Homo-oligomer: A and B are copies of this chain.
Amino acid sequence: MKITRAAEYAIRCMVYLVRKGKGTLVSRREIAHQAEIPAQFLAKIAQELARAGFIEIRQGAKGGFVLINEPKEMNLLEIVETIIGEISLNESSALLDFCSDPNQCPVHSVWTDATSQLRDTLQGVTFDKISKKGSCISIEKPKSDK
């Protein structure tokens, strides 16, 4: 019943890139260090974000990640679901078999409705909103860049 660490890391990574600015190349090392994400684990997460089209990964020396989209065009739901798959509060498919019609059944339609509500809420949260001042994710000063 929790957002996973991987999803939390993905969000931190995206917020970091947003704060650095769309199109700005940022090394994995810097993000991992500043956002406190295990570097190798971040690599895995970034690959999924890249496959989903949110960032571009540049290999080689001076490589790193680049934000592709406008912050206001990205929302929490799509980032989270890129990492953990479609959010669903419903019981597993094995349990759905028990219920002949989860959409009609008053017991099980609750989860369908609550899931929709949650997904709508997260969809409404765009990255321009959560990346402004006050965020716990602060960027490394460009000058002190190693």
Query: Which residues of A line the B interface, CB within 8 A?
Result: 1-5, 8, 11-12, 15, 36, 76, 84, 87-92, 95, 98-102, 104-108, 110-111, 113-114, 117-118, 121-122, 125, 129-132, 134-137
Contacts and interface: CB of A to CB of B under 8 A. Distances in A.
Tell me the interface secondary structure of chain A in the complex: loop
B105 A134 contact: yes
A135 B107 contact: yes
B2 A135 contact: no
Contacts of A137: 107
B5 A95 contact: yes
Contact of A101 (B101, B105, B136): B136
A106 B128 CA distance: 10
28 contacts: A1-B1, A1-B3, A1-B88, A2-B91, A3-B91, A8-B91, A8-B95, A11-B107, A12-B98, A15-B107, A89-B118, A99-B136, A100-B136, A105-B134, A106-B129, A106-B131, A106-B132, A107-B131, A107-B135, A107-B136, A108-B136, A110-B122, A110-B125, A110-B130, A113-B121, A114-B122, A117-B118, A117-B121
